[in-house]
């Protein structure tokens, strides 16, 4: 039996079946490439779903993790933690927020944001009835109970009812619908500036600016979930920077640790002040090892100008994808910003994903028919050319009905 098959069988036998897995066991990564257990090499345009933004095993992240592992891997948040304090400062100095709460995932960052918004409404406004949060249809905010409730897609909620009270959903990019949904109970609006799992849908400038103004008028908090689109992927360190607005709360995870699990919730001072010691906590949140990884990631992102690379290579990639549209009638639209791009198809995308994989290109498909491309931000135009060579061959096969 091959090494790869062995890993798959072991997993099938012992791991809980929560993931629909593809028949591939990845065992090594370097830059924009990964290798499976049988030694096959793949160009990685999935990057752990927007996690490995610096590419796999970036030397600075590897060195930071190795060094910190030999100094202090973990200590409780009962004590002050140096890498945590440094990473918080770096995030604050480069964002519109003033304070950071660290956790371990995107769902947890959103969970923290939901708790903070409720506490703020109670603490600052003295209002027990103001707890409702409005989110968007097709959003994705994670898999904890609060996060699936915030997620405006019934398929993630089914079977887990009763859901949490206090959420309402409106169509994305529809300011009027949001205006109509706001009432006396609303305390916050929570949105992804660029929806990832929902199909790579970009918020329009007028929409997000209108949402900000609406939140200001009604004294609502604006929570932006930048778990997937944040940290340079769209061409700015934070996606909200494209819109000339500032959120009250930002959530991050995915790319923050370069592959090491870490999440963060950032907030403006007046909002953060609603949390007092004891209000929220997690054992591992902001632990020395995770924050050493996070520091290396964010410093490298900034020093190496990776958001600019996302703009430059992203533009090239998007233009080349758009050039494919007239050639394949089942290819409908290309959407996205920077290096978070999607190609909407008129047909299911699963077989295209599979055939790309078989030819050595990893991409993924969201919502059944949107091909999603979230490669490492260190990607070059030559690597985009290579990916497109494979994608074009597969799309041609598809159009010839092969």
Ligand X SMILES: Cc1ncc(COP(=O)(O)O)c(C=O)c1O
Quick check: 44 binds ligand X (CB under 6 A)? no
36, 44, 225, 248: the active-site residue: 225
Cis peptide before 242 (omega within 30 of 0): no
Stretch that binds ligand X, among 172-180, 192-200, 241-249, 354-362 (CB under 6 A): 192-200
Phi, psi of 361 (to 5 degrees): -125, 125
Residues 6+ apart with CB under 8 A from 168: 132, 133, 134, 135, 181, 186
Among 197, 353, 383, 398, binds ligand X (CB under 6 A): 197
The alpha carbons of the chain give a radius of gyration, in whole angstroms, of 21
DSSP-derived 3-state class of residue 295: helix
Residue 65: CB minimum distance to ligand X, A: 19
Q: Helices (H) and strands (E) in the chain — how many of each?
A: 13, 17
Among 81, 91, 191, 227, binds ligand X (CB under 6 A): 227
Among 142, 166, 307, 338, binds ligand X (CB under 6 A): 142
Q: Which residues in 241-280 contact ligand X (CB under 6 A)?
A: 253
44 or 197, CB closer to ligand X? Answer: 197
Q: What is the Cα–Cα distance from 214 to 184, expressed in whole angstroms? A: 14
225 counts as catalytic: yes
C-alpha separations of 291 from 54, 82, 108, 119 in Å: 16, 9, 16, 26
4 or 195, CB closer to ligand X? Answer: 195
Stretch that binds ligand X, among 21-29, 222-230, 306-314, 385-393 (CB under 6 A): 222-230
DSSP-derived 3-state class of residue 256: helix
Stretch that binds ligand X, among 140-148, 215-223, 297-305, 374-382 (CB under 6 A): 140-148
Phi, psi of 199 (to 5 degrees): 120, 20
Q: Which residues pair with 202 in a beta bridge?
A: 194
* 70 C-beta neighbours (distance < 10 Å), count: 8
4 or 228, CB closer to ligand X? Answer: 228
H or E element that contains 190: strand 186-191
Say which DSSP state 314 is in.
Answer: H
DSSP 290-340: HHHHHHHHHHHHHHTTHHHHHHHHHHHHHHHHHHHGGG-TTEEEEEEETTE
Quick check: 105 binds ligand X (CB under 6 A)? yes
Quick check: 111 binds ligand X (CB under 6 A)? no
Quick check: 233 binds ligand X (CB under 6 A)? no
285 or 355, CB closer to ligand X? Answer: 285
Quick check: 398 binds ligand X (CB under 6 A)? no
115 or 386, CB closer to ligand X? Answer: 115
Residue 347: CB minimum distance to ligand X, A: 24
Contact 22, 373 (CB under 8 A): no
Stretch that binds ligand X, among 62-70, 106-114, 158-166, 390-398 (CB under 6 A): 106-114
Q: What is the Cα–Cα distance from 97 to 240, expressed in whole angstroms? A: 12
29 or 196, CB closer to ligand X? Answer: 196
Residue 192: CB minimum distance to ligand X, A: 5
Residue 139: CB minimum distance to ligand X, A: 7
130, 254, 268, 318: the active-site residue: 254
Among 130, 141, 212, 318, binds ligand X (CB under 6 A): 141
Contact 48, 375 (CB under 8 A): no
Residue 44: CB minimum distance to ligand X, A: 17
140 counts as catalytic: yes
Residue 17: CB minimum distance to ligand X, A: 18
C-alpha separations of 237 from 170, 171, 247, 310, 397 in Å: 27, 26, 14, 10, 38
45, 101, 102, 140: the active-site residue: 140
Contact 378, 310 (CB under 8 A): no
Which residues does the annotation mark as catalytic? 140, 225, 254
Which residues are near ligand X by CB under 6 A? 49, 105-107, 110, 140-142, 192, 196-197, 225, 227-228, 253
């Amino acid at each position: 039996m091959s090494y790869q098959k062995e890993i798959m069988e072991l997993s099938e036998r012992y791991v809980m079946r929560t993931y629909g897995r593809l028949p591939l066991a990845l065992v090594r990564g370097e830059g924009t490439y990964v290798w499976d257990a049988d030694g096959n090499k793949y160009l990685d345009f999935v990057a752990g779903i927007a996690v490995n933004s610096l590419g796999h095993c970036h030397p600075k992240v590897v060195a930071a993790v190795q060094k910190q592992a030999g100094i202090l891997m973990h200590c409780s948040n009962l004590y002050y933690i140096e890498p945590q304090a440094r990473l918080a400062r770096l995030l604050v100095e480069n964002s519109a927020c003033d304070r950071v709460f660290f956790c371990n995932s995107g769902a947890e960052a959103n969970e923290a944001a939901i708790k903070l918004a409720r506490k703020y409404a109670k603490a600052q406004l003295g209002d027990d009835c103001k707890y409702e949060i409005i989110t968007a249809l097709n959003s994705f905010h994670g898999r904890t109970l609060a996060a699936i409730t915030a997620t405006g897609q019934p398929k993630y909620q089914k079977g887990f009812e009763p859901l949490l009270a206090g959420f309402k959903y409106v169509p994305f990019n529809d300011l009027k619908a949001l205006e109509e949904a706001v009432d006396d109970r609303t305390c916050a609006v929570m949105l992804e500036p660029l929806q990832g799992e929902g199909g790579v849908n970009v918020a329009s400038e007028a929409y997000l600016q209108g949402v900000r103004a609406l939140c200001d008028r009604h004294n609502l908090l604006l929570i932006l979930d930048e778990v997937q689109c944040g940290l340079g992927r769209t061409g700015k360190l934070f996606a909200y920077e494209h819109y000339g607005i500032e959120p009250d709360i930002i959530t991050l995870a995915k790319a923050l640790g370069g592959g090491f699990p870490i999440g963060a919730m950032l907030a403006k001072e007046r909002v953060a002040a609603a949390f007092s010691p004891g209000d929220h906590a997690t054992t591992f949140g902001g632990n020395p090892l995770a924050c050493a990884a996070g520091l290396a990631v964010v410093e490298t992102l900034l020093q190496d100008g990776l958001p600019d690379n996302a703009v430059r290579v992203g533009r090239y990639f998007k233009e080349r994808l758009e050039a494919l549209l007239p050639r394949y009638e089942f290819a409908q639209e290309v959407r996205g910003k920077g290096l978070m791009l999607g190609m909407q198809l008129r047909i299911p995308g699963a077989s295209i994903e599979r055939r790309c994989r078989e030819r050595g290109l990893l991409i993924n498909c969201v919502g059944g028919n949107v091909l999603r491309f979230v490669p490492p931000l260190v990607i070059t135009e030559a690597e985009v050319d290579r990916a497109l060579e494979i994608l074009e061959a597969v799309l041609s096969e598809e159009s010839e009905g092969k």
